[in-house]
Amino acid sequence: MSVNTLPLSMVKEGENIRLVRLNAGERMSQRLTEMGLTPGTEFTVIQNTTGPLLLLVRDTRLALGRGMALKIVVEQLCEKED
């Protein structure tokens, strides 16, 4: 049970996270929502270096601009690596 919230842009590669809140404008929130990024969704950051992030959301690979990633609040899930 971790309750460590942070902006998506700061999540490390390979980490599993849960979406908490979208601090974006209405139009953008709607866009993200219909692509499957709803609050509570668990997803993985595949790539996060510079430039856009690569996410794995509901079996879809999504490219997301870094600016947007700053406005998405996520929480880290406890490590359940085997």
Partner 1 sequence: MRNIHIAIAGNPNAGKSTLFNALTGSHQHVGNWPGKTVKKKVGRCKHGDYPMKVVDLPGTYSLSAFSPEEVIARDYILDQQPDVVVIVLDSANLERNLYLAVQTLELGVPIVAALNMSDIVDAQGIKIDYEHLEKALQSPVVRTVASKGEGIEQLIETIIDLAEGQSVQSPDQKEPFSINYGGEAEAEIQRVEERIIQNSAVPAHLPERWLAIKLLEEDEELWKRMEGVEGGPRLLEETQRGIDRLEKLYGDDLDITFAERRYGWIAGLVQRAVKRTVSNRMSTSDKVDRIVTHRILGIPIFLIAMWVVFQLTVNISGPYVDWVDGVISGPLTSWIEALIGRVGFGGTWLEGLFLDGIIPGVGGVLVFIPVLMFLYFALAILEDSGYMARAAFVMDRLMHIMGLHGKSFLPMLVGFGCTVPAIYATRTLENKNDRILTGLLVPFMSCGARLPVYVLMASVFFPSNAGLVIFGMYSLGIVTAIILGVILKHTLFKGKEQSTFVMELPPYRLPTLRGIWFHMWKRTSAFLRKAWTVIMVVSIVLWVLISIPMAEGGLFAETEVGDSLFAAVNRQIAPIFGPLGFESWETSSALITGFLAKEVVIGTMSQVYAVEKGVEGIQSTSFFEDLGTIVTGFVDATMDAVKSLPLIMGINLFEEEEKPEPTALMNAIRMNFEASSGGHGALAGLSFMVFVLIYTPCMVAVAAERQELGPKWMWVSILGQTILAWLMALIIFQGGKLLGFG
C-alpha angle 51/52/57, rounded to 5°?
155
DSSP string of 2-59, one letter each residue: ---EEEGGGPPTT-EEEEEEE-S-HHHHHHHHHTT--TT-EEEEEE-SSSSEEEEETT
Give the nearest distance from C-beta 1 to partner 1 in angstroms: 21
Give the nearest distance from C-beta 28 to partner 1 in angstroms: 6
Binding residue (CB under 8 A) for partner 1 from 6, 15, 18, 33: 33
- 54 is a contact residue toward partner 1 (CB under 8 A): yes
Residues in contact with partner 1 by CB under 8 A are 21-22, 24, 26-36, 38-41, 44, 46-47, 49-52, 54, 56-65, 67-68
